[in-house]
Amino acid sequence: RMRILNDSQRGGGGGIGIGIPLEVQQLQLVSMSREMAMEMFGGSLENIFPELRLGGLQEQLPWIPIANSRGPINPDNPLQFIPDSFFDIFLEGSMGPGGSHLFPIEPMQIQPGGVLLSRMLVRFLNNAQEPDFRWVWHMHEAHSGDLGDAPDSTNSFGAPMTAYPFPGPGIIPANYPTVYLAGSPPFGPLHRQPQAVAFLGPMVSTEMEADIGPDMDGVNNILPPPNQPDMDGFDDCLPGFPIPLNWCQQNQFPFLVTVVNPQMQMFANVWFDWNMDGDWDDIVQCPTGAAPVPEWAVQNFPVPMISGTNPVMTPPFMAWWPLGQVDQPTGQLWMRITLSEQPWIPPMPPFIVGYGGSGPQRGYQFGETEDYIMPVKGGPLLDFGDAPDTAAAPGYPTLAVNNGAFHVLSNLQMGNNIDPEPDGQPNGAATGDDNNGLDDEDGVGFGPLAVGMPAFLAVSTNGAGILQAWFDFNGNNSWGDPGEQVAADVLIPGPGGHTVNFTVPASAIVGKTYARFRFSSQRGLPFWGVAFDGEVEDYQVEIHKSAVEIDNYNDVAAEIELIGPDGTTQPIPADGTASMNVYFEGPADGDANDSDGDGRDDVKTEMTALNLAGTSPLGAFSVKLRAAPASMGEMEETANNTVGRLDVPPFAPAGTIDSFFDIFVEVDLGGNKYTTAKPLTVRGDLTHKPAAPCDVLIGQNREELIDAAGNRTGYLIKLSELMLVRCRMDWGDAPDSHFLPGYPTLAMNNGARHEIDPKVFLGDRIDPERDGQPNATATGDDLNKLDDEDGVKFLTWPLVPGKWAKIEVKASVAGLLYGWIDYGADNSWAQPGDTVFNPKPLVAGVQTIPFFVPITAKPNCASFARFRFTRSTVAIGYDGYADNGEVEDYQVMIGENCGIKWVQRPDLTPMGIDIRVDNSDGRLRTLADDFLCTSTDKITDVHLWGSKLKDRPLGKPPMIRKIHLSIHSDDPVGPEGTDPQNGWSKPDQLLWQMDFSPADFTMTLAAKIEEGEFWWDLAQDGLLIPAGDTEVWRIDIKIDPEKAFLQEGSKEKPVVYWLDIRAEMMQEPDAEPYTFGWKTRQWPDHYNDDAVMALGSELPMFWHELRYPPQHPYFESHQNSIDMAFAITAREFCCGSADLNCDGFVDILDFAIFASQWLQVAP
């Protein structure tokens, strides 16, 4: 911007004349760099003036017309210029509406040090009062300014900059006022003529703005988009950089000033970002003194004006910065030093963030600003307290700003640990110091604190010193009240533990409050301020009432027996509330004594409120306490582990208390009021004090109801159960034990359990239990009060292997049914085949559901089933928690399918092995295992289990082209067989053989073992591959009865046969061969002889005995024999009839079997 002023006078001579009105008829400007001007005008700016004339070199310059809102200034649009008026020309365009603003028709800039020329054609009246014209030329040399280089987020780019850590990336936003215009106010300190009077250091670089435009040193002072401050290359006023600042002490430092004009006074101001928050606006508190520490450290210091470059010493100022790694974001802080012709005046409130270190709106005329990122050293380490306090609402004196207690760290302390803090660490629990690094609140222990009772402190120190201690007994956030200092200048004679006794005032307020302890070599320390050695520790403590604790129970469940005159008993469920007083035998909760001399501590109790309500056959029913006499009782520990304390949680890690109450009741029955002549006594073991969920007191007596006149009614009442905190969980009852875990039923074995939702259950009812209710017949839940095992009914009984079965299920609402049956009768539902429903959606009401009993189910045995019903969409297993629903366990019977002749179940664990039995690589492999025949009939079905190496093809059945089965007689080990030299039993004479194509068998995916099972190829150097496959397939081979093998044995004369298997695989051109392996039997089950294998086609075959190889975990076991997994069945008439012994006749023998096996356990 440039200004044109009409200060013309008639007559000249400098006297006071009359101004001349002018009319500007032409106005033009041209801007030239200093270099261009000197080149055009002969190497000197002074040569310009002779050429500012008509016909001079000025006529060759590219003049730019000046315009107003009506257009360029010309004779048709003249500019009236009355005396003592001025016009501003805005060089970069119009600055606002209206005709008073002038601007070039093209925006123009003046380079620092450059030249701006103007020419005007003016019309005026001369002394003869005749119109006259004159050209007027002016030359203006552009001055360069100076600004700082601290980061500024109010920059010309709108880019956020950070202060710390430096260099970035930083996390603390920068709000230092550096940029003059953008985002102002606050304004950056612009010095328009930095070199005219005085400047900092021996040199100064000039710039028009801090982050844009030309800069003398070639780069802007700050580069906002890449977040790069500190770019001014001429910050040179600190000869002793970095300044050796001393923490919380008086400091001075020298700085250099170059004085050009000593006749003018200049002022120095210095700012430090003491609290490292990204501005110079704050006043902080040094904890070692009451005086505040302003970030405006040096304030309007008059600089001695001596020509030349000279060192100047600042006046003293205090320094402070955060200490320690927790609070200090960087080891440096930003500093600004400004030299200017006018004092710095802080703005009036409200303050704008970042005002500290700013400049005036019109800028300074002279001087310079230099910014530095200043390294700082550590100060002394301090220990502060952590009792509640805030700067806004002071509490206990903890923070430095509230003169909080602190100690200079030394070799004197309480406890084993001490750590430094930069300031108090207050929080509501007085644990801020513990949470800030090392937990050093370890020097003071407390005995019981009870109103009016003696108390003690256990203080641990590492040396001799003086102890001060305060308790805020009245809870008013102060330790200054009379009687609150319990230890004043108490001498601690040396290291170790020490006891300090005191008494809690009778006026103390019950509840949580705070205590402070100070240990030092100094006497007379108050609870605030500095100490020069030792430690301060704050604690939240609780003051108790001296004798009574009140326990309120708001979810009481009860069962009341109402016995009529005819002896019939009506159980009445009731709900309500209760309250009791517990009279501890000392100042602390849990204090007790052995009042009856039986070696167990006890306390007296009183039931102070009981309100129960239910519905009886005679109408509404309620029970409450009588006003008198008192319903007294006692709690006595069942084992005395700590003398003088109740050994029950929370006073001890474990234990129970034998509790009883004699309760005097008032009964409302159908609107009539009754009482009992004697109290109703309840008794039971509580696992917690107050009582835990499911803790129950059991009624001990029945008492007759009498009316208000004392007449007998013939009705008896018994408070049969009083559960102070209702159970909310349903558990199962399958067999389990604390000593020998079975099915997961008990809590200690992660038993199945459901959070009770009264709307979600099986059958007609559900009742809560505190833990699983296992017994040998899975009826523990039924016997525990309410029989709620009523949701599942077996319509098929017994379950028959290889047959379909049905159950009838009743659900209260729609949901999901999960089910498991232990088909192997091995006390586990973990086998893959044991899962029956996973899950099965149910609708509300009764529904019949079929399921298939696998042929591998163990026949003629009792086993157990578990059913779990829930509305939750989160999958559940046979153990663990569910957030709604019910679990029901049942004993089941598994019968015999007389068509199943032999079963060897597959090993469906990661220990199972698939032994390769195909010949797709040209190697002939034959596997065989023996079985026992106890009947004479044809083998019409053979079932095998096996897998594919690497599951190829994935998810599809094995690519079997042909299965070869054969049956051999048995060659037993030793001289009795055909080969008297054999060392193990093996197949002998071929009795039957047959090939089967895919049309003769089906393949079903039986299980998937996610961890994988072993694959073993004896023809490939006995290669055993862990996790060689995951899919287990069952192959069911049907044999034409006309071609089937007739096995001939009996129970009296059983016969051993061998089943031999080979497989041929389909192949695809240029594809890796498909494989098939026969699965080993479930371990450790074993029959008779080990399986054997023959390699090659030579006769007679050489059979290898199979045992688990050395690489397998079972190799070292006692049972390391290998059997193969298969089943043999026959389609005979007895399977579908009552011929249970399969002798061809239905007679008394079949009935005897039926009666002995099933009638006694039929549902």
Tell me, yes or no, whether 730 lies in a domain: no
Examine the domain organization and report whether 336 and 214 are in the same domain: yes
pLDDT tens profile 258-300 = 999 999 999 999 999 999 999 999 999 886 665 789 999 999 9
- What would the two tokens of residue 1085 be? 């089950």
Confidence band, pLDDT 50/70/90 cuts, at residue 1150: very low
| Domain end call among 859, 894, 929 | 894
Tell me, yes or no, whether 795 lies in a domain: yes
Confidence band, pLDDT 50/70/90 cuts, at residue 55: confident
Other beta carbons less than 10 A from residue 366's beta carbon = 22
Give phi and psi for 1151, each to the nearest 5. Answer: -65, -40
Q: Which of 245, 253, 275 is nearest to 356 (CA)?
A: 275
In angstroms, how far is the first alpha carbon of the chain from the final one? 106
Examine the domain organization and report whether 970 and 1109 are in the same domain: yes
Looking at residue 75, its pLDDT comes to 93
- Which positions ≥6 away from 789 have C-beta within 8 Å? 733, 763, 778, 779, 781, 782, 888, 889, 890
Q: Which of 79, 76, 94 is nearest to 27 (CA)?
A: 79
Examine the domain organization and report whether 173 and 202 are in the same domain: yes
The mean per-residue pLDDT over the stretch 817-836 comes to 92
Tell me, yes or no, whether 729 lies in a domain: no
Tell me, yes or no, whether 728 lies in a domain: no
Provide the β-strand partners of residue 570.
562
Least confident window among 401-405, 453-457, 924-928:
453-457
DSSP character for 357? T
The mean per-residue pLDDT over the stretch 480-498 comes to 94
pLDDT at 14 over 60: no
Least confident window among 344-353, 778-787, 864-873, 927-936:
778-787
The mean per-residue pLDDT over the stretch 169-173 comes to 88
pLDDT tens profile 219-252 = 999 999 999 999 998 999 999 899 988 888 899 9
* H or E element in which residue 200 lies: strand 198-200
Three-class DSSP labels, 816-885: EEEEEECCCCCCCCCCHHHEEEEEEEECCEEEEEEEECCCCCCCCEEEEEEEEEECCCCCCCCCCEECCC
Q: Looking at per-residue confidence, does 447 or 339 come out higher?
A: 339
State how far the alpha carbon of 733 is from the alpha carbons of 684, 743, 756, 780, in Å: 23, 9, 16, 5
Q: Which of 1121, 972, 1006, 1123 is nearest to 1059 (CA)?
A: 1123
Looking at residue 499, its pLDDT comes to 87
Separation of alpha carbons 135 and 27, rounded Å: 10
Tell me, yes or no, whether 821 lies in a domain: yes
The pTM assigned to this predicted structure is 0.39
Q: Which of 396-400, 433-437, 614-618, 769-773 has the highest mean predicted lDDT (pLDDT)?
A: 396-400
Least confident window among 282-296, 650-664, 817-831:
282-296
Examine the domain organization and report whether 226 and 321 are in the same domain: yes
- Which positions ≥6 away from 1110 have C-beta within 8 Å? none
pLDDT at 932 over 80: yes
User: Residue with structure tokens 């910014």?
Assistant: 371
CATH of the domain at 835: 2.20.130.20
The mean per-residue pLDDT over the stretch 419-429 comes to 88
Looking at residue 777, its pLDDT comes to 87
SS3 1083: coil
- Which positions ≥6 away from 1054 have C-beta within 8 Å? 932, 933, 934
* H or E element in which residue 36 lies: helix 34-40
Confidence band, pLDDT 50/70/90 cuts, at residue 436: low
Percent of the chain scoring above 70 in pLDDT: 92
Q: Which of 501, 652, 515, 665 is nearest to 576 (CA)?
A: 665
Examine the domain organization and report whether 797 and 859 are in the same domain: yes
pLDDT at 596 over 90: no
Separation of alpha carbons 968 and 991, rounded Å: 5
Pairing of strands 1001-1017, 913-916: parallel
Confidence band, pLDDT 50/70/90 cuts, at residue 111: low
Strand 729-731's sheet: what is its strand order?
729-731, 753-755, 881-882
Separation of alpha carbons 308 and 291, rounded Å: 37
Examine the domain organization and report whether 690 and 584 are in the same domain: yes
Confidence band, pLDDT 50/70/90 cuts, at residue 560: very high
* Total domain count, the chain: 7
Looking at residue 1091, its pLDDT comes to 95
Confidence band, pLDDT 50/70/90 cuts, at residue 785: low
Examine the domain organization and report whether 704 and 821 are in the same domain: no
Separation of alpha carbons 654 and 891, rounded Å: 35
Give phi and psi for 254, each to the nearest 5. Answer: -90, 150
Separation of alpha carbons 404 and 388, rounded Å: 11
pLDDT tens profile 739-750 = 888 899 998 888
pLDDT at 686 over 80: yes
Contact at 8 Å (CB) between 387 and 425?
no
Q: Which of 328-332, 600-604, 1147-1151 has the highest mean predicted lDDT (pLDDT)?
A: 600-604
- What would the two tokens of residue 595 be? 């009042």
Examine the domain organization and report whether 914 and 1042 are in the same domain: yes
| Domain end call among 543, 568, 593 | 543
Separation of alpha carbons 604 and 588, rounded Å: 15
The mean per-residue pLDDT over the stretch 126-142 comes to 84
Looking at residue 783, its pLDDT comes to 60
Tell me, yes or no, whether 775 lies in a domain: yes
User: Residue with structure tokens 């009886």?
Assistant: 616
* Average per-residue pLDDT for the chain: 86
Tell me, yes or no, whether 855 lies in a domain: yes
Q: Which of 512, 558, 242 is nearest to 377 (CA)?
A: 242
Number of helices (H) and strands (E) in the chain: give both, helices first.
4, 71
pLDDT at 806 over 70: yes
Contact at 8 Å (CB) between 280 and 293?
no
pLDDT at 1018 over 80: yes
Q: Looking at per-residue confidence, does 1075 or 47 come out higher?
A: 1075
| Domain end call among 543, 572, 600 | 543
Examine the domain organization and report whether 1036 and 941 are in the same domain: yes
pLDDT at 647 over 70: yes
Contact at 8 Å (CB) between 354 and 177?
yes
Confidence band, pLDDT 50/70/90 cuts, at residue 545: low
Looking at residue 718, its pLDDT comes to 93
Examine the domain organization and report whether 673 and 600 are in the same domain: yes
Confidence band, pLDDT 50/70/90 cuts, at residue 35: confident
Q: How far is CA 962 from the centre of its chain?
A: 58
- Which positions ≥6 away from 1069 have C-beta within 8 Å? none
pLDDT at 15 over 50: no
Confidence band, pLDDT 50/70/90 cuts, at residue 395: confident
The mean per-residue pLDDT over the stretch 711-727 comes to 90
Three-class DSSP labels, 916-937: ECECCCCCCEEEEEEEEECCCE
Give phi and psi for 402, each to the nearest 5. Answer: -105, 20
pLDDT at 215 over 60: yes
Least confident window among 61-70, 460-469, 672-681, 851-860:
851-860
Other beta carbons less than 10 A from residue 179's beta carbon = 28
- What would the two tokens of residue 753 be? 């359990």
Separation of alpha carbons 830 and 938, rounded Å: 35
Examine the domain organization and report whether 395 and 315 are in the same domain: no
Provide the β-strand partners of residue 622.
613, 668
pLDDT at 191 over 90: yes
Separation of alpha carbons 956 and 804, rounded Å: 26
User: Residue with structure tokens 């004896």?
Assistant: 1018
Q: Which domain holds residue 1150?
A: 1139-1163
pLDDT at 672 over 70: yes
Separation of alpha carbons 805 and 798, rounded Å: 9
Looking at residue 279, its pLDDT comes to 97
Tell me, yes or no, whether 789 lies in a domain: yes
The mean per-residue pLDDT over the stretch 674-683 comes to 92
Least confident window among 441-445, 681-685, 945-949, 1127-1131:
1127-1131
Examine the domain organization and report whether 38 and 165 are in the same domain: no
CATH of the domain at 394: 2.60.40.2950
Give phi and psi for 922, each to the nearest 5. Answer: 90, -5
Confidence band, pLDDT 50/70/90 cuts, at residue 1157: very low
pLDDT at 963 over 90: yes
Q: Which of 497-501, 616-620, 1096-1100 has the highest mean predicted lDDT (pLDDT)?
A: 497-501
SS3 400: helix
Looking at residue 1143, its pLDDT comes to 42
